[in-house]
Structure 1
Amino acid sequence: MNWKTAFRSFYYENAEAPDDIVLSPAQTALLVIDIQNTYLETPDDPAEAERWQPFFERMNGTVIPNTAKLLDWAREKGIEVMFARIACQTEDGRDRSLSQKKPGFNYLLLPKDRADSQIVDALTPRGDEIAVTKTTDSVLTGTNLRLMLHNIGITDVIVAGIFTDQCVSSTVRSLCDESFGVVVVEDCCAAATDDLHRRELEIINMIYCHVVSSEEAMSFVK
């Protein structure tokens, strides 16, 4: 793919190609969102397990390996590495936002110390890398990440994680509204289906972020 022409929505079909992106390591953060054990668990129901199989294949075959490479690259370049995960402070989840208390897929009860709420082993934070917990979709809404980014001097954020059409999209929009430059790494993200993934990337691309491949993202830092 070529990030300057890919994932164009109706609004930007005929827009000029954007300028080249140049990222300064000292002012750039890599944010990995919600790649947690709970989302890699195979449902007990065989039909439901089959329905989610393409997602599991993308996560295990593409998103997690590519995100691991992106993390290694960011650490080597001196880019600030940050993580967010969904986790509540209480055992009964009374501190959750309304979206996580409603019945259905978004119902989440993930106490912060439970194994299924943890970031997957392949992407475990290292040293003093910042990891925040939230009970919201947007990381900025549910944590003090905004303040930390400003305190560290970050101006641009590279985003990876799940789900493209939910927490990733909400976070990207919040970051853009706060005037951060945002790059979303397409092959380090996933939605429940490839169709949802691609449609959401078209919606947010060029307006709230630039959608790129992991190889392209790594080329932006010289």
Structure 2
Amino acid sequence: MFYALKRPSEEEEWNYFLLYMASLRKRYFIGTYYIQEWNLYTPVFKMPPTIVDKRAFTPIEKEVLDNAYRMVCIGCGRCCARSSGAFAFEHEIEEFKDKLPIEVDLLDWFYVRLSYVGDVKVFRLDKGVAGSCVLYDVKKRWCILAEEEKPVICIIHYCSLYAERRGKYYVKVAVKRRYNELIPIYKEAQGKVLRRIKSMLRRAYRST
């Protein structure tokens, strides 16, 4: 069955709780989607009902998911190279600490209070030049971790510019206001246009 992470709020405890629960189930992550019916960008997981924490996840019908836009990463480096804000929960650090380019003891850390869970230790990864992530290889312009090894914030967070739906690719071209909501507008992007935009963004962020 498919499950979406519930909607974040203005409460830090709730938002960190959602991320923490997602980090425990990231092996089941299938993509971050914009769901039109909900006007929501949300990570989606395909997992057995027996391991679902209903406090954090809500079921989503396959028909709704088929009509949603799945975000696509083009590897431009925007999220990693500058002011990344990257972080990892303590249990995530344990999973890849042997690959860290610096000692864990050199990372800043802090405690956050999670709804239902309590205090959890979080490590900051934005210790590189200009706030870049320490996992970002400046020479190769890529993350040193495999996709499944990355912290949950890196796996589920997308800039929302590129998307895929039913085998076609889209670019977000505008945002319109509807009452108190902002609605993204996606337009199908084909061939040369898509490649040109990708190339432009990659050059912009890989030249820093």
Structure scoring higher RCO (CA < 8 A, sep ≥ 6) equals 1
- Tell me the TM-score normalized by structure 2: 0.23
Give 1 or 2: higher helix fraction.
Answer: 1
Structure index of larger Rg: 2
Give 1 or 2: higher strand fraction.
Answer: 2
- Tell me the TM-score normalized by structure 1: 0.22
